[in-house]
Amino acid sequence: MIPTTACLFLSAMLFFLGMLGFLLRKNALVVFMSVELMLNAANLAFIAFARMHGGVIGTTGHVSAFFVIAVAAAEAGVGLAIIIALFRTRRTLDVDEVRALKH
């Protein structure tokens, strides 16, 4: 059986990759995908712990994972819509160009 530590290590790697992608990539779409990656890393950690604990407590982990997936789906819907709207108005997806949050 794959040890929990390994799963957690994989989750951490995925999260780190996602974070790097989020911080460094300039294309909004890729940034968005990096967020998804981080969410999935979290899911992986949930599942790993759920398997480790098993029983009633474990189900909480599964539920959480489903919950995250649901949130991620909603986020994808909204996020992609924003990105499309952004592209339509600005004709670019470079996050350095899009600074609507400034000041």
Partner 1 sequence: MEKLFPEYPFPIQNIESGLWLIIALPLLGAFINGVFGKALGRKNVHWVACASVGGSFLLSLLVMWALGKAQPEIPGPLAYALSADYGTWFAVGDFKVNFGLFADRLSATMLLVITGVGFLIHLYSTSYMEHDKGYAKYFSFLNLFVAMMLTLVLADSLVLLFVGWEGVGLCSYLLIGFWYDDEAKAWAGRKAFITNRIGDFGFLVASFLLVLLMAASVKEAPRGTPVSNPRFSASLAEKGPLAFQSLSTLASTLATPDISAAKLKAAKPDHKPALLMERDIQTGPLKGFSYSGVLTVVLLFFLLGAAGKSAQLPLYVWLPDAMAGPTPVSALIHAATMVTAGVYLFCRISYLVVLSPFAMATIAVVGCLTALIAALIAFAQDDIKKILAYSTVSQLGFMFMGIGCGLFWAAFLHVVTHAFFKACMFLGAGSVMHGNGDETDIKRLGGLRKEMPWTSWTFLIGTLAITGIVPLSGFFSKDAILFGLETQQLAGYTPVLHTLYILGLIAAACTAFYMVRLYVLTFEGKRSPLAKLPHAHESAWPMTLPLVILATLSIAAIVYGVPFLSVPNAPNQTLIEFYLAPVFNASNQANQLGMKAHMLLPGEFGGETPWNLLWTGWIKAWLIAVVCGGISCFLYLKVWRGGRKFPAILEPLRRFAHNKFFVDELYELLLINRTKGLAKGLYRYVDAFFVDRVAVHGTAQTVGFFGRVLRWFQNGNVQAYASAIALALAVGLTYALLQVLS
Q: Where along the sequence are the contacts to partner 1 (CB under 8 A)?
A: 19, 22-24, 31, 95-96, 99-103
Sign for the CA dihedral angle at 64, 77, 24, 10 comes to positive
Nearest-approach distance from CB 1 to partner 1, in angstroms = 28
Q: Given the complex with partner 1, which of 91 and 96 has the nearer CB atom?
A: 96
- DSSP secondary structure string for all residues of 3-49: -HHHHHHHHHHHHHHHHHHHHH--BHHHHHHHHHHHHHHHHHHHHHH
Residues 41, 15 contacting (CB under 8 angstroms): yes
Nearest-approach distance from CB 24 to partner 1, in angstroms = 8
Q: Given the complex with partner 1, which of 91 and 99 has the nearer CB atom?
A: 99
C-alpha gyration radius of the chain:
17
Q: Given the complex with partner 1, which of 14 and 50 has the nearer CB atom?
A: 14
Nearest-approach distance from CB 54 to partner 1, in angstroms = 26
Nearest-approach distance from CB 10 to partner 1, in angstroms = 19
